[in-house]
């Protein structure tokens, strides 16, 4: 390969890299613009957070006073609960088999 061919190949590789980089920067800018619009005041994100805060406040009213919600132990499934879940799964499978007939 001659020096000129190597130079042209390097130039083409660089051009390809620059094109790819430009495309990625465009996609990043588009995503950032969408995030900015989504999170701007009065938009869906803020509205959902306000709804969630209101819901959490409402749920908090139902908690007994003095309950430490930071240290609630995990709920363990009993053998009966596992048996009920297995029965529900079996019933669901039987129902779907009947529907397919």
CA 73 – CA 30 distance, rounded (Å): 43
pLDDT, position 44? 84
In this structure, are residues 39 and 46 in contact, taking their beta carbons and an 8 Å threshold?
A: yes
77 pLDDT band, cuts 50/70/90, is low
pTM: 0.46
Q: Which helix (H) or strand (E) holds 29?
A: helix 3-39
Phi/psi of residue 87, nearest 5 degrees:
-65, -40
pLDDT, position 21? 97
Q: Residue 69's Cα: distance from chain center in Å?
A: 25
Domain boundaries, the chain: 1-62
Convert the pLDDT of each residue in 3-53 to its tens digit: 999 999 999 999 999 999 999 999 999 999 999 988 888 888 888 888 988
């Amino acid at each position: 390969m001659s020096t000129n061919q190597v130079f042209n190949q390097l130039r083409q590789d660089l051009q390809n890299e620059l094109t790819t980089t430009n495309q990625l920067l465009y996609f990043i800018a588009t995503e950032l613009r969408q995030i900015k619009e989504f999170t701007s005041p009065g938009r869906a994100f803020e509205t959902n957070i306000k709804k969630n805060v209101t819901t959490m406040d409402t749920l908090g009213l139902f908690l007994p006073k003095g309950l430490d919600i930071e240290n609630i132990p995990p709920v363990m499934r009993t053998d009966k609960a596992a048996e009920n879940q297995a029965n529900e799964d079996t019933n669901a499978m039987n129902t779907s088999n009947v529907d397919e007939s």
